[in-house]
Structure 1
Amino acid sequence: MKREDDVQLIHRVLSGDDKAFDILVGKYQKSVHALVWRKVEDFHYAEEITQDTFLKAYRKLSTLKNPHQFAGWLYVIANRLCIDWMRKQKPAMQSLEETSVKEIDSITYERYVERDRELEAAEHRHDLVKKLLEKLPESERTVVTLYYLGEMTTKEISKFLGVSVKTISSRLRRARERLKEKEDLFVQEYLGGVQLSANIRQNIAQQVADMQPTPAPKMEPFLPWAAFGAAVVLATLLMLSVSNQYLAHFQKPYSFEAESEPTIEIIDAPIVLDIDAKPALRNQIGQTTTISKNNGNGLHASERDATLNASEDSLRLSATQWMPDAALRQAVREKLDIPADAPLTRAYLQQHLTSLDVRYKGIVDLTGLEHATDLQALVLIGNKIHDISPLSRLTGLAFLDLGENQISDLRPLAALTRLETLHLWKNQIEDISPLAGLINLKKLLIENNDIRDFSPLDELTHLEVLNKRGNFRVSDDISRVAVAPRIKDRDYPSVFSAWYSDVLNLPNLSDDEKLVYHDLFWGGPGFHLQWHPTPTGLRLFGRIDDARWKREYLLSQNPNFTRLVSLDYIDADPSDYSEEWPHWIRDENGDRVQAYAGGSTLLIDFTHPVVQDILVQKALAVAKCGLYDGIFLGRWQEGTATLEDDKGGYYRDVEAEWSARLSMVRRIREAAGDNFLIVVNTGQTKAPLSAPYLNGTFIETILDEGDTAYTHDHLREIENTLLWSEQNFRGPQINALEGRGIPLEPPDSPRNQQMMRVITTLGLTHSDGYVCYVVGISGIIHKHEYEISPGHKIDHIKGEPHQHNHQHYWYPFWDADLGQPIGEKSQLYQNREGVFIRKFTNGWAVYNRSGKPQKIQLMERTTGVASGITGTQHILPDLDGEIYLK
């Protein structure tokens, strides 16, 4: 339609033609719904607010000064309603937490499980889309949502938001560029698949038929639309507490015809309005629901008389004394329909209150509710309740929902033995032993608390539904995401991070962003998990469900991300075992032995079968929980011993150590299977004895010539070890080459960047593995050319021995998009000794250790990533490397 059609339709509406308004609803409902969803992030609530937007527009239609701007006016109304909604309630996505008693009785256990799984999958997709959209600035996020969910053209969005088509197109293009192609398709498919409920338009039409638009106010003088728009924008900004520095941008009158940037944006900021909060109620599938109300409406005459003529004892205390919480008191009055001029008495409460549903009202104190002894159903979601002792007398309760409060002590619930449904999700509960006697419980929701021991529930034989996600629990056995495709499909250069996820020159990245900047990482279990003994051996313990979600999120950000758990088998923290534990390595004085000078860990005797069993149990726990792709084992230089004292002596001989190592790795491989990575630190050595069980090696190199450079001979040794590893370890392979930085120079010094290029291109031309170049410093006294952590500063101040050999720095050289390898490994360039070249889909990697500069002639024009020179001929210095992109 042309814009003038809106004007004609509005005139028809104001003349009494409601069908014309129905046409306007059909035209704009998807746009408004998309806009509202961007704000509230819940499709069902967005539908309700969309409906309210059109109803409010209908009531106020006669106040619209410029009918040409109907779309922008709808925008403002929708935004205001979103702000009101955010003020009034903040409901959490829930799993049947708000299902009525009647519905719960009708849902079989099997149907519940099916619905819960469907919801989990839907919520997971919703969370992924939300995370992807959060990568975009607000202006781009809004345009993407209107484009895909609202199914609007760029021209329609331009009119709706009041900016130029060119600006909208630019925002959409930038958003697609920020999102990877697969991410953009995922967002498009998800938002494009959302359908508005078919009855929204019908509901609006029905309600419109029962109301009349507000008469046009008499205003002198008449305000032109531009001034009105400016007032709306300015008022909105003031409500959102926008700081003065942004006001100047909005002081010009708002124009829907604007060709420049100024526009109304949806700003997420807290506001406070003096409005009574009345949150909508929604069950699992998005439908409005309440606990059934009492029979009858309001007070009958006899009941009013009984209330007014209550006993002297009942009237002796005012309601403010025996029920001090104003929000609770008001909710009870509303429920019982007690007039403002009638008293609320304990006797009346006891006789008439059988159900109560009060959500997100800020209730703190339940005192007084103990008199409602006929209560059968009670819902108090999203309040600020800490003490639930008044509930101990409500022994008739069958349904109780206390979700999203601040409850930690459940002892008052011990007497409520008639309870069949109990919701305690999202509180601060640690001890659930008071629930052990609630033998009639059929459904219990206790997710997102701090519970560690669930044994009190063992005797609840009638329990059909139990949700304990988000608590501390032992990991269960689930399958892992296949790792081979992630290793095979990644692009190069492919960079890894060992132990430290921090990146020195990217301080503004979140911890998750730093992790997925790399394709491979190993370190501790992470995810706030810890080791926990069980009857079947050690398992990982903690908030397993949160960890699983985080793992999926990391993969959504980097689909090729691979994570290993580094397992210590040579040493342990003193707190891991008692001081009397028989498997500590002890010196001639019987004292436990430090593993490293200045370190805090102590040597353990891994040649003993008990210690070997511990490592195998940990490895299998990693394999079974599904959160990781494999394990990493350090100190794996075959033919050398590691259990040594500070004088160079050894506590166990080489044969005993390697017999133990081979036994452990063989047992792990047999139990964990083929789709489980085992990577070890061989330094710069080969590992023929253990190669059949291993997927790869960590080649940890060190600098020569006084920690200033790699020599030609040293690089030749690294090449040989890397090639041997590529040929002898099992697939899928993880060979990781780490270069060591010049310690007393800045990470980005010319020599450090040159050595980084050497290591990177050596890895690219000789393997399909991963590379890294770290800043490494050891010793007591040293200085840094970069910011160090507070803990490390303390080490310096105290002068204590310490080391930090894997501090990470991100080099722009690694951002080159080489694609995937096409050429063979270790190919000499034109048969020149020491010059290696390998072709990739988007260019070439060249590495030179020939002893002199080399002229490189390529068949196509390319640009050197480091040199910036474009052409077919390039000069590459000795002991250097370069990536040439087409």
Structure 2
Amino acid sequence: MFQAWYGIDMPEKYPQRTLEERLALAAKHDLLWEEPLSQLGEKVDLVIGLEWAGEYAGLARTFDPASLEKAKKNRAKLLALNPNMKILFEIRWRDAPSSFLPEDSPFWLREDGEIKKGWLGGWVPFYLLDYMHPDFIKNVGEQARVALESGIYDGVMLDWSGDLEVVKSVREHIGEDGIIIVNIHDDIEDGEKYKDYINGSFMELNPVDDTSISKSNGRNWERTRQALLWFEEHLRKPTYNCLEVWGDRDDLSRMRATTTLGLTHSDGYVLFGDPNPLKTPDHLHDWYDFWDADLGLPTGPRVDREDGAFSREFSHGTVVYNPYENEPVSVQFPEPRRSVATGSTAKTFTVAPRDGDIFLQ
């Protein structure tokens, strides 16, 4: 599982009144990224807590010393809870809140002398950045370098589909080993442009089907599957693909479909999160018992079943993903298995279309 900016939102079951509680919940994920300017602006507490120094975050080359010390401690606590965790920092390159730069900065994108508006969902006006400006491209790379040299982050995340020259600058500045993830959704065309530079796609998607609660960012389940396969095969190694599907938190079959698609088709990360059009911070999510299954490590590749479903073997069980618009499929084992979806134990199970299950040994 991964955390995209905002985390688990189940205050009764998982309170987050203290830093220790926030860290414990964040550590349930194996990868996370945050961006302090936006998250603090929306009055959401940070997990790592590292903040840029100075009046303008967009020009910063250092982090606030007090926040750096706090972030070192928080990173150590997270890794003590989850040694496999990867921690990334979002670098702003497309747009930013008005406080990001001085008003007269050449890094704002202007039209007829006026700064162009960016994202319209912010707590303050967001304005577009001139990511074609060679000095700004270098600035983005420099900030990425500073983030990794802090010792807090394993890599950086770029939102809004990225830009080739910006991506190149980031790779040049952070070196060969740092992780770069870009929000390219399921757009293989962008993957082809960036494949030599980035380690993964943030696949922020909303596959439209019978239970979709939003048509925004509408995508297709099969294209999602094909893109995930392409990204796994062609993007830079090691690969860190992050598949997020939006949906109603109570739509458990959609959650299971997302999870089992990721498990059978990748070695990456998944998230089932709130749709962005909701009037709450994006990517908030529940934590599901399904995600606590002790599945172990993969022991083989994906199997394309004759009935149209897909399966993969793990050290402690089998994962089955049944695509949208397929028929229900029967799954049989020579010995009793326990279905994580239903809790039942049997040798034969049925998996519905646009659903999936984990069958533990």
Taking the TM superposition and a 5 Å limit, the aligned residue runs for 1:843-854 are 843-849=317-323, 851-854=326-329
For residue 624 of structure 1, report the CA deviation from its aligned partner: 0.9
The 1:762–1:710 alpha-carbon spacing in structure 2 relative to 1, beyond 3 Å, is: farther
Q: Is the 8 A contact 1:865 1:885 kept in 2?
A: yes
Task: Return the letter of the residue paired with 1:538.
Answer: R
How far residue 809 of structure 1 moved from its aligned partner, in angstroms, is 0.9
Counterpart of 1:860 in structure 2 is 335
Classify 1:710/1:868 alpha carbon distance in 2 versus 1 (closer, same or farther; 3 Å): farther
- Deviation track 1:231-262 (CA, whole Å, cap 9, x = no partner) reads xxxxxxxxxxxxxxxxxxxxxxxxxxxxxxxx
CA–CA distance in 1 between the matches of 2:5 and 2:263? Answer: 23
Partner of residue 293, structure 2: 816
Q: 237, 250, 256: which is aligned to 1:757? A: 256
**2:312 alignment partner in structure 1:** 838
Does the C-alpha gap of structure 1 residues 545 and 705 become closer, same or farther in structure 2, counting only changes over 3 Å? closer
CA displacement at 1:707 relative to structure 2:
5.9
TM-superposition CA deviations, 1:612-636 (whole Å, max 9, x none): 1221111000111111110000112
| Aligned residue in 1 for 2:187 | 685
User: What SS is found at the alignment partner of 1:883?
Assistant: strand
How many Å separate the matches in 2 of 1:626 and 1:613?
21
Q: What SS class does the counterpart of residue 220 from structure 2 fall into?
A: helix
What residue identity is the alignment partner of 2:61? L
Match for 2:341: what amino acid? A
The CA deviation at 1:708 is 2.1
C-alpha distance in 2, partners of 1:604/1:549? 33
Residue of 265, 274, 289 corresponding to 1:775: 274
Q: What percent identity do the matched residue pairs reach?
A: 32
TM-score by length of 1: 0.36
Matched ranges for 1:30-109 at <5 A: none
Q: Could you say if the C-alpha distance between residues 611 and 629 of structure 1 is closer, same or farther in structure 2, counting changes exceeding 3 Å?
A: same
Matched, 1:550 2:74: yes
Q: Kindly name which structure, 1 or 2, has the bigger radius of gyration based on alpha carbons.
A: 1
Pairwise CA distance, 1:683: 1.1
Secondary structure, counterpart of 2:282 in structure 1: strand
Equivalent in the alignment of 1:520? 31
Higher relative contact order (CA 8 A, sep 6+): 2
**1:578 shift after superposition:** 1.7
Give the unaligned 5+ runs of structure 2.
37-45
Contact 2:158 2:182 in 1 (8 A): yes
> Where does residue 41 of structure 2 map in the other structure?
none
In the alignment, structure 1 residue 566 sits paired with structure 2 residue 43? no
Change (3 A) 1:763 1:666: same
Match 1:577 to one of 93, 101, 121: 101
Q: 2: distance between equivalents of 1:609 and 1:777?
A: 32
1:737 is aligned to 243
CA contact 2:214–2:275 (8 Å) conserved in 1: no
Q: Deviations over 1:770-808 (max 9, x none)?
A: 0110122516xxxxxxxxxxxxxxxxxxxxxx5643111
Structure 1 counterpart of 2:295, which letter? L
Structure 1 counterpart of 2:139, from 610, 614, 618: 614
Secondary structure (helix, strand or coil) at the match of 1:692 reads coil
Determine the C-alpha separation between the residues in 2 that align with 1:580 and 1:854: 62
Contact 1:585–1:605 (CA<8 Å) still a contact in 2? yes
What is the alpha-carbon distance in structure 2 between the residues aligned to residue 884 and residue 817 of structure 1?
10
Confirm or deny: 8 A CA contact 2:7 2:283 kept in the other structure.
no
Secondary structure of 1:602's partner?
strand
Amino acid at match of 1:575: S
Correspondence 1:664-679 to 2 at 5 A: 664-679=166-181
| Contact 2:52 2:60 survives alignment (8 Å) | no
Q: Deviations over 1:61-81 (max 9, x none)?
A: xxxxxxxxxxxxxxxxxxxxx
SS of the equivalent of 2:319 reads strand
SS in structure 2 of the partner of residue 776 of structure 1 = coil
Whole-Å Cα distance in 1 between the matches of residues 242 and 186 of structure 2?
11
Deviations 1:730-782 (A, max 9, x none): 1111101101113xxxx23xxx1110001111111100010110122516xxx
Give the 3-state SS of the residue equivalent to 1:547 in structure 2.
Answer: helix
CA distance in 2, matches of 1:575, 1:806: 24
Corresponding residue for 1:83? Answer: none
Residue deviations 1:132-181 (CA, integer Å, cap 9, x gap): xxxxxxxxxxxxxxxxxxxxxxxxxxxxxxxxxxxxxxxxxxxxxxxxxx
TM-score, L = length of structure 2: 0.86
Distance 1:703 1:714, change over 3 A: closer
1:586 pairs with 2:110? yes
Q: Does 1:718 align with 2:239?
A: no
Q: Quick one: distance in 2 between partners of 1:701 and 1:538?
A: 33
**Structure 2 CA distance for aligned equivalents of residues 578 and 617 of structure 1:** 18
- Cα deviation for residue 573 of structure 1 reads 1.8
- Name the amino acid aligned to 1:507: Y
Q: CA deviation at 1:716?
A: 1.2
Distance in 2 (CA, whole Å) between partners of 1:518 and 1:502 is 10
TM-superposed CA distance for 1:878, in Å, is: 1.6
| Distance (Å, rounded) in 2 between the aligned partners of 1:503 and 1:718 | 26
Q: 1:507 — aligned with what?
A: 14
Evaluate the alpha carbon distance shift between residue 562 and residue 872 of structure 1 in structure 2; reply closer, same or farther with a 3 A threshold.
same
Q: Which residue of 2 aligns with 1:214?
A: none
Q: Which residue of 2 aligns with 1:146?
A: none
| Aligned mates of 1:554, 1:873 — CA distance in 2 | 40
Question: Using a 3 Å threshold, how does the CA distance of structure 1 residues 843 and 566 change in structure 2: closer, same or farther?
Answer: same
Distance 1:869 1:706, change over 3 A: closer
Amino acid at match of 1:754: S
Q: Letter of the 2:89 partner, please give it.
A: V
Task: Answer 1 or 2: which has greater strand percent.
Answer: 2
The residue number in structure 1 matching 2:202 is: 698
The 1-side partners of 2:135 and 2:5 are apart by 27
CA distance in 2, matches of 1:731, 1:517: 24
- CA RMSD in angstroms, aligned pairs only: 2.3
SS in 2 for 1:549: helix
Cα pair 1:551 1:627 within 8 Å, conserved: yes
SS at the partner of 2:275?
strand
Q: Is the 8 A contact 1:502 1:511 kept in 2?
A: no
Post-superposition Cα deviations, 1:515-570, rounded to whole Å, max 9, x if no partner, equal 1111111112554433247xx97122322333212211110011111110011101
CA distance in 2, matches of 1:603, 1:701: 23
Deviations 1:355-375 (A, max 9, x none): xxxxxxxxxxxxxxxxxxxxx
